[in-house]
Amino acid sequence: MATPPPHPPTSKWLVVTDLDGTLLDHAYNFSPAAPLLRQLEQEGIPIIPCTSKTAEEVEQFRTAAGLSSPYIVENGGAIHFPHPQDWQPDRPWQVEPGGGMVMPLGWPSERLRPLLSSLAAALGTQFSALEDLSQEEVMACTGLSPQGSALAVRRRWSVPFLLPADQAIEPVESLAAARGLKVLQGNRFAHLIAPGSDKGLALAALRRADPWRRHVLALGDSPNDQALLDGADQAIVIPGPQGPHPRLESAIAAGRYQLASAPHAPGWADAVATWLGIS
């Protein structure tokens, strides 16, 4: 075991957050939370994205938001540690270009892709994998720019896909589970991932790598955030303009998740500032 990092944290909290639909609105805007993000970064409170996005997409966001903390990509497929000296992972990790480290938790996309085709065949349907869509189709689905679309399709640990309009997600989830896989529903795409790699398992790996064993404040908006929210010390659901996702309502009613006061960055900033006691 390595020695603990030399600088004790200024806060007992880690903030672990989904991005799309949570901190980012559907135009990918987070500007109402930007001042708070800068303040938290200055105070040394890690803001750890935990998202279905690719590493390259998250790196673009981190640069825009001025964040230096680790990040969890592709629904828990891997954790990136840009400053590995501050963390003590208990699993193997790999050196990334630029000097950071990545801890893989899932299976490579090349291994998952044929399994998606097999699920579709068993259900008598066809799925459209993100990587097979044209750039125009990706842009239409996501609202991303051509450059953003190019970053979004570079998957290493997951296979995002679209279901036909008449295909419910539940049978797909059930069949995947019966085969030892996971299908998660995100905002725009469903995601096929390996059994050992959801957001909750990634959070557990992050906690084990935290030498200070800090508490976790987690924020999400969709069913694919449930494992993250369930693994947190405090869980906050960010509603959409029409309210919280229907599949998260029972946990909110039961008091397991708190509901933020507003959608996206305004609700995110209000909830985080309130919970961390920041004025």
Q: Which of 11, 142, 158, 222 binds Mg ion (CB under 5 A)?
A: 222
Query: In whole angstroms, how close is the CB of 224 to Mg ion at the nearest point?
Result: 7
**Residue 9 or residue 148: which is nearer to Mg ion going by CB?**
148
One-letter-per-residue 3-state SS of 29-78: CCHHHHHHHHHHHHCCCCEEEECCCCHHHHHHHHHHHCCCCCEEEHHHCE
Query: In whole angstroms, how close is the CB of 238 to Mg ion at the nearest point?
Result: 8
Size of the site for Mg ion (CB under 5 A): 5
Inter-axis angle of helices 109-122 and 169-178, nearest 10 = 120
Asked if residue 131 lies in contact with residue 138, where contact means CB atoms within 8 angstroms, the answer is: no
CA distances (Å), origin 14, targets 9, 196, 212, 267: 10, 22, 10, 18
Query: In whole angstroms, how close is the CB of 220 to Mg ion at the nearest point?
Result: 6
Question: What residue number has its CB nearest to Mg ion?
Answer: 21
**57-76 residues near Mg ion, rule: CB under 5 A:** none
The arrangement of strands across the sheet holding 182-185 comes to: 128-129, 159-162, 190-193, 182-185
What residues have CB less than 8 Å from 151, skipping those under 6 apart? 54, 56, 57, 60
**Residue 21 or residue 106: which is nearer to Mg ion going by CB?**
21
Q: Which of 268, 274, 277 is nearest to 20 (CA)?
A: 268
Strand, coil or helix: what is 130?
A: helix
| Cα end-to-end distance, the chain, whole Å | 38
**Residue 52 or residue 109: which is nearer to Mg ion going by CB?**
52
Query: In whole angstroms, how close is the CB of 160 to Mg ion at the nearest point?
Result: 13
**Residue 11 or residue 222: which is nearer to Mg ion going by CB?**
222
**Residue 70 or residue 263: which is nearer to Mg ion going by CB?**
263
CA angle in degrees (0–180, nearest 5) for 26-54-122: 90
Query: In whole angstroms, how close is the CB of 98 to Mg ion at the nearest point?
Result: 27
**192-221 residues near Mg ion, rule: CB under 5 A:** 221
Query: In whole angstroms, how close is the CB of 24 to Mg ion at the nearest point?
Result: 8
Residues in a beta bridge with 157: none
Structure tokens, 67: 């964040």
**Residue 40 or residue 237: which is nearer to Mg ion going by CB?**
237
Site map for Mg ion, 5-44, x if CB under 5 A? -------------x-xx-----------------------
**Residue 157 or residue 268: which is nearer to Mg ion going by CB?**
268
Query: In whole angstroms, how close is the CB of 21 to Mg ion at the nearest point?
Result: 4
Residues in a beta bridge with 129: 161
Contact residues for Mg ion (CB under 5 A)? Answer: 18, 20-21, 221-222
